[in-house]
Homo-oligomer: A and B are copies of this chain.
Amino acid sequence: MAVIRRLPRYYRYLADLLRVDIKRISSKELSERMGITASQIRQDLNCFGGFGQQGYGYNVETLYKEIGKILGVERRFTTIIIGAGNMGNALANYENFKKRGFDLIGIFDISPNRVGQYINGIEIMHMDRLEEFMKTHVVDIAILTVPSHATAEVAEKVAELGVKGIWNFSPQDLKLSHNVVIENVHLSDGLAVLGYRIKEMEEQEQKKKDKQN
């Protein structure tokens, strides 16, 4: 699973290489660009059949396509956003999702100020219309950007109505009995890692100073 979490990153880096017409790359070079050790890269890519060749490195296009297949990028997913606040708006406008195979087909909210407004050409519908919508559309993924206290209830509802996956932006981890894949986003985890790395940098700088004195 840890490898899977790194695959989207490999995929992005390989896309960047293709864009500047780089045709092959060694694990060492890829390592320097991505900030992952070369041995980790070899180990990761070996998990998926090892597309590298000793002395040659990796064929960028082949690797890009293979990782794309594993990730299922040729498959398109339909998504709805529930909660049209700031985060919902930001995600609805996120240009990269469509490129990566995720099509937004509906936005829902309960606020009278929001219902009837449009985001990126899509009308915000009242939650009352969710059930009818999901009976007439295939919805693969529900993106939940509702307030924390409402998340569990909304999640149960979309699970019952048949979504396959939930992308949860509330700080509380979701757990459901249904057969639904859940990805919990924890933005503050990223900030905590940043804080840790700043603290580490400061400590190293302090050590350098101490040595000079």
Contact = CB atoms under 8 A, between A and B. Distances in A.
Interface size class on chain A is: 35 or more
Interface stretch (A107-115, A121-129, A195-203): A195-203
A45 interface: no
Given A72-B195, A196-B70, A100 B188 contact: yes
As for how many copies of this chain the complex holds, the number is 2
A190 B194 contact: no
A211 interface: no
A99 to B, nearest CB: 8
A26 interface: no
A47 interface: no
Contacts of A52: none
A164 B94 contact: no
Interface of A: 2, 4-5, 7-9, 11-12, 70-73, 75, 77, 85-87, 89-91, 93-97, 100-102, 140-141, 164-165, 167, 171, 173, 179, 181, 183, 185-199, 201-202
